Structure 1
Amino acid sequence: MIKILDRILLFLCSLVIGILSIGLLALSFQWIKLPNVETVLDSFYRDMIARSTFIALSILFLLISIRFLYVSVRKAGPDVSSIDQRTDFGDIRISLETIENLSLKSTSRVRGVKDLKARVTVNDAGLEILIRTIVDGEISIPHLTEEIQRSVKGHVEEVTGIPVASVSVYVANINHSPSFKSRVE
């Protein structure tokens, strides 16, 4: 939400700066005659509503400028799109997408699951992996989810060397396999 607001503010600020630049160019090239400028400025100084509006807009653009200054110099948050590891030979970066794909691969080997999705988050204890799946209605869900958790934890830790803090399984639905009765005539 903040990023959208910043984009809107940046658009408005750019628009106003563009309009002011065109006005300054017009004054510099004398496209606007001096008596016209004097008339506008004189009416501006005499009209209280115009001055109040200009003061409010000036304060608004000052606040927008302070916001953009803050955004440009603040320290960016940690990059959680990858996990960095240091070895004797150099640095290794593993993307969270890679870990999600490893989780999906190990889950797909478990019989009775389909329509898989994975989400990985990082915390101090290690990786937190959430698996969303639809399971076969004929298989015990507690047994199946425990097998998924064991499989994902073991596979991800073995391949990446990164500790897995937890594997949560969300069973979104069950799949009713159609039972076909053969008919002999």
Structure 2
Amino acid sequence: MIKMLDRLLLFLYSIAIGAASIFAIYAVSGAASVSRLRDWISYLREVPSAQGTVIGISVILFLISLRFFIVSIRRSGSSAPSINQRTDFGDIRISVETVENLTLKAASRTRGVKDLKARVRVAESGLQILIRAFIDGEGAIPVLSEEIQRTVSQQVEEATGIPVAEVSVFIANVTQAPTTFKSRVE
């Protein structure tokens, strides 16, 4: 939700900065006379509703600028998403990418699996792992899926010490084995 709000604010901010840039180009290029600009500025000062509108828009643009400044500073110091554990000896941080690679390594040991992708989410109950696989189609899909689930769950828990709450397997497709043709020489 916050990312969507930031994207909306960035969109509005870009439009406002673009309009201000066009106005600046218009004013400096000589297309507008100095007297016309003075008349426009004095109009804004004299009419309370116009003055309030300009002040309101300026405050909103300043707040959006402040928000983007804070977000840019905060994100620059952050690191890759990780799973944190505290032990008697200190803290352990394991990146989510490491767990995904462990998942791929464990799942690839299953016979019949050809291409894999993995996603790991951290939940209160443990790790939620989603595996997308292509298979060769030689064996039963339910048996193959259960074997992947069992292998991944055991190996990830053993390697990381983090409980695996769920391993979901999505069989995306069956790969076709390349056919080999014997060349015939006449």
Q: Which runs of 5+ in 2 are unaligned?
A: 23-33
Q: Using a 3 Å threshold, how does the CA distance of structure 1 residues 57 and 138 change in structure 2: closer, same or farther?
A: farther
Residue aligning to 2:145: 145
Corresponding position of 1:83: 83
* Structure 2 match to 1:120: 120
Higher alpha-carbon Rg? 1
Mark the CA change 1:45 to 1:89 in structure 2 (over 3 Å): closer, same or farther. closer
Check 1:42–1:129 CA distance in 2 against 1; reply closer, same or farther (3 A cut).
closer
CA distance in 2, matches of 1:83, 1:123: 10
Alignment of 1:1-150 (within 5 A): 1-11=4-14, 41-45=41-45, 52-66=49-63, 72=70, 81-150=81-150
Q: Which amino acid aligns with 1:2?
A: L
Q: What's 1:28 paired with? A: none
The one-letter code of the counterpart of 1:154 is Q
Q: TM-score if structure 1 supplies the norm length? A: 0.69
Q: What TM-score, normalized by structure 2, do the two folds share? A: 0.69
The 2-side partners of 1:180 and 1:70 are apart by: 61
| CA–CA distance in structure 1, aligned partners of residues 178 and 119 of structure 2 | 30
| Structure-2 change in CA distance of 1:95 and 1:12 (3 Å) | same
Match of 1:166, SS? strand
Question: How far apart are the structure 2 equivalents of 1:147 and 1:157?
Answer: 15
Q: Report Cα offsets for 1:49-104 as digits up to 9, x if no partner.
A: xx65553343233334445667749xx9xx98110011122111000000000000
- The question of whether the paired residues in 1 share the 8 Å contact of 2:82 and 2:93 is answered with yes
Q: Which amino acid aligns with 2:126?
A: G
Amino acid in the other structure paired with 1:166 = E
1:146 offset after TM fit, Å? 0.4
User: Structure 1 residues 107, 41: CA separation in 2 closer, same or farther (over 3 Å shift)?
Assistant: closer
User: Helix, strand or coil: the match of 1:148?
Assistant: helix
* Partner Cα distance (1:38, 1:107) in 2: 72
Q: Which moved more, 1:63-72 or 1:156-165?
A: 63-72
Q: Secondary structure at the match of 1:155?
A: helix
Report percent identity of matched pairs: 45
1:139 is paired with a residue of what secondary structure?
Answer: coil
Q: Distance in 1 between matches of 2:67 and 2:121?
A: 28
